[in-house]
Every structure is written in structure tokens, then in C-alpha cells.
Amino acid sequence: MKIVVIGGTGLIGSKLVDRLGAQGHEAVPASPKTGVNTLTGEGVGEVLEGADVVVDVSNSPSFEDAAVLEFFETSTRNLLPAAADARVGHYVALSIVGTDRLPDSGYMRAKVAQEKLIVASGIPYSLVRATQFFEFVQGIVDAATDGDTVRLASVLIQPMAAADVATAVAEVAVGAPTNDVVEVAGPEQFRLDELGRSVLGARHDPRSVVTDPAARYFGATLGERSLVPADGARVAGTRLDDWRAQAARKQ
């Protein structure tokens, strides 16, 4: 199959292209680096010619509320008609577990807007909602930092490795459209505040984590299960300690 990966030169996209190519598919990375700009429409029609599947794992360069909404709405509105014209049979998009539970977050609102456009397009689709990546936990800690203090709520989180995200998306992409949401998550649940302490400890970071029930998560108030999937989610195999060991070997 010809599978076009929007955002195919990024963290998830590059891994996804490699996996699909290893399976014998024609995996085509599409991003501004390859001459495809989904915001302006440049190169979109051309790259989608003959495509069987489109997988959108792109991300906004800015997380500011208005900018991220404009990115996902504009890029998706450019992609969908081009995919329809190319008679693409399966439109896959990577999203986030909890998007529909965190309306206070501008980023999550933007992902919901993207999902709604895809569902309404009439193109057979699959929405893959993944939990947060191990690679982004440091960013969660940094975003919650005030001086030398990190304020995190003691809620459940079930992060996963970016490599496992790519594997899950690849499995969905080569399968039949689900016309539904597929949730994927890591094999372990943690308390967010405890995970923050673990991250800082592993890096010998002197900041301290304060458990704060009112702490916001990228602008959103969290419930106990806002960040974890529902029953029936696909569970990846890489545990946090295994991922840390793999990351250490690459350094």
C-alpha cells in the first residue's frame, strides 16, 4: 500500500515511516521538510496521488490556544478534500487520550476540533488516541514548575514509549478503518506527582514536587482518570524502566 504520513519527519512520524517501510509498504513522509505544507496546501494534492492511506501525526509548532486551533483546523481542512479527491480509503489521525474530558485545555479543544472534521468528512477513518509519551513527561514537569517547585496533581497517568505509539498507529493504518476511536496506552499506571518525582530523581534534578489537587495540566483541571484510557484499550509492552534503560544505552 501507499501510505502517506503527514508529519512523517517528526518523532512519531519518522518511526512510523520506518515501520511501514519494513513491512513492505510504500511509506511516504510528508512535511515542510519534504515540500508538503498542510497549512498552505503546498504539495498536498501531489503527495496524496495514488495513496491508499493517509496518516496524520503532525503537530502544531505553537501550543498557544489560538495558534494550535488554527493549525489543526487549517491543516485538516486542506488535507480532507485532497484525500477525497485522491480517493483515499482510510484516514488515520493520532490524537490524545482525554481530549474530550479536558475542555479547559486549548490544545485538547484543538484536537477535538480536528477529530470532528475527520468524522464529518465521510472518508473512512480511524482515530488513535494515545496516552502521553515517556519522552514528554519531562515537558509536563517543566510546564508545572514555579521556581524550584513543581506542582502536580495526584491523578492517574499511563504513559507509553513513542516507539510503541508508532507501532500501534502502524497496525491501525494497515487494517480496515474502524470509523471509531482506538485507545492505546502503556502497561503501567502511575500517580502524576509520583511520576514527576521519579523523573526528577532520575535526572538528579533539585526541584521538588508538591502534590496539589488544584494544579492545572496545560491549563486544565484534572480528574482522577482524565489521562488514562477506558477499559479495552490496547496496551503496549514497554515499561518505564525498560525505556529508561534503552534511552541510556543510546546516549
**Number of domains making up the chain:** 1
Strand partners, 208: 149
Average confidence (pLDDT) over 215-243: 95
DSSP states along 208-221: EEEE-TT-EETTEE
**Can you give the pLDDT at residue 209?**
97
Q: Name the residue range of residue 106's domain.
A: 2-250
**Can you give the pLDDT at residue 104?**
92
The CATH number for 28's domain is: 3.40.50.720
**Can you give the pLDDT at residue 134?**
96
**Can you give the pLDDT at residue 250?**
79
